[in-house]
Amino acid sequence: MGKIKGIIVNDVKIFFSNIKSNILLFIIFPVLLSHLYGAFNEKVFEPDRTIERFNVYVNDEDNSSLSKNLKEVLTYEGINEVIEIASKEESIVAINIPNGFEESLYTGENTTVQLEKLDKDAEIQSSIVKSIVENYVEYNTSYKQILNSINDSQLLDKEKEEVINEYSQYLSAFYEGEVLQVNNIDKIITLTSHQYFSGAILAFITLLMIFELARRFIKEKEDGTLKRLYSTNIRKSQIFAGKFIFNFFLCFMLISVYVIIKNVMVSGFEVDLVPLVITILVHSLLICGIASLMSSFIKSTKVVNLLTGILIPIFGMLGGTFFNIDNVGDGVFFKIVPKLTPNYWIQSIYNKLMRGNCLQELLSIILVIIGVGIITSLIAFMKLKISMED
């Protein structure tokens, strides 16, 4: 462990010896670039609050008065201007009401009305329906609990009736659709230009980090720095581990500083802390994994420099760094090819974070990134362990 620590300390010294260029390349440059792109595209990305009417399918397995009433709520004035109940084949969002739904509301037990996105692009529509359902469950649960409390109280029957009538006035706002309209239609989360390019440029900088970390490791091999380490009693696996750990924490630090600065500028990652930290961790793992893989197979810094000049612009364009790729086209090319770039996955997860997605909704992308990071790291470790010159 002491030898690994020594390698990390040495890399820290090298980093601080070039700290000005590192800060300029990985912090100042991306912050300014994302801010400029965000400012230039404000009108293009101006959120549109007009939601086209969409179809919702309701699968009612409970078939109770409360489950039927939930379906009826979707037809109320104001809501029916946005939502239309239709068959599953015609809908983009499905509401699955489980058996025992009404009983669980009466007893105060946890009940789960499952939502299903029938169209992968129905993220905004799904959030609208989700909020309506959550409000419905919340209001009815509260209403039943208060009714039970009132009925169990020592009040006279007349007093109980007065209290119930008074509380019912608050509940009526829900059934008139006023609460739903405010909570769902007026608060649709759409990325602003500053938010979009905060994630897009960060994803682009990911490419620079990958190629730069690979270039530095290969340069150490060319300069003979690693050969001098091999001549000591330090094992190759320890060298790999030390450099991997340093690179991981370096990436985590640089990304975190970028995110903090963007938040201070009130133009970026205003999201929950825990999902954000987890995202930065898996983001750092992906960078280190791919960089390690590159450095284990590429022998020359000239090759890295050549690939940097060719691949980074291509990945940047295909991954949607400089324009909103969702607005480019619906063809097979733009649905498949961007997913082959690492910056696409990074940008996707940050976009979902800024739209308010919870950690569970990000799980699929997180697992993809972790999988790629681990696999590339293991391949790099095995390759370096076998092929490094003694």
**d(C-alpha 91, C-alpha 52), whole Å:** 13
More confident site: 1 or 187: 1
Mean pLDDT (whole number) for 303-327:
82
- Give residues with Cβ within 8 angstroms of 240, minimum separation 6: 292, 380, 381, 384, 385
- Surface-to-core class of residue 367, CB atoms within 10 Å of its CB (0-12 exposed, 13-18 middle, 19+ buried): exposed
- Give residues with Cβ within 8 angstroms of 124, minimum separation 6: 51, 188, 189, 190
Please state the domain extents for the chain: 2-44+190-387, 54-185
Which residue in this structure is represented by tokens 């050969």? 227
pTM: 0.65
Encode 126-147: b = buried (16+ Cβ within 10 Å), e = exposed.
bbbbebbbebbbebbbebbebb
pLDDT digits (tens, 9 = 90+) for 239-293: 788 889 999 999 999 999 999 998 887 666 667 788 889 999 999 999 999 999 9
Supply the DSSP string of 143-200, one letter for each residue: HHHHHHHHHTSS--HHHHHHHHHHHHHHHHHHHTTHHHIIIIITT-----HHHHHHHH
β-strand pairing of 93-97 with 54-60: parallel
Encode 60-97: b = buried (16+ Cβ within 10 Å), e = exposed.
bebebebbeebeebbebeebeebbebeeeeebbbbbeb
Mean pLDDT (whole number) for 346-369:
83
pLDDT score, position 253: 94
**d(C-alpha 343, C-alpha 238), whole Å:** 30
pLDDT score, position 249: 94
CATH architecture of structural domain 54-185: 3-Layer(aba) Sandwich (3.40)
Amino acid identity at 82: V
Determine the 3-state secondary structure of 321 from DSSP. coil
CA-wise closest residue to 32 among 237, 318, 258: 258
- Give residues with Cβ within 8 angstroms of 11, minimum separation 6: 242, 243, 246
Greatest Cα pair distance, the chain, in angstroms, is 93
CA-wise closest residue to 247 among 4, 8, 5: 8
* β-bridge partners, 84: 55
Amino acid identity at 274: V
pLDDT digits (tens, 9 = 90+) for 135-193: 778 777 776 666 666 666 656 566 656 655 655 555 555 555 444 443 444 445 567 88
Mean pLDDT (whole number) for 24-37:
88
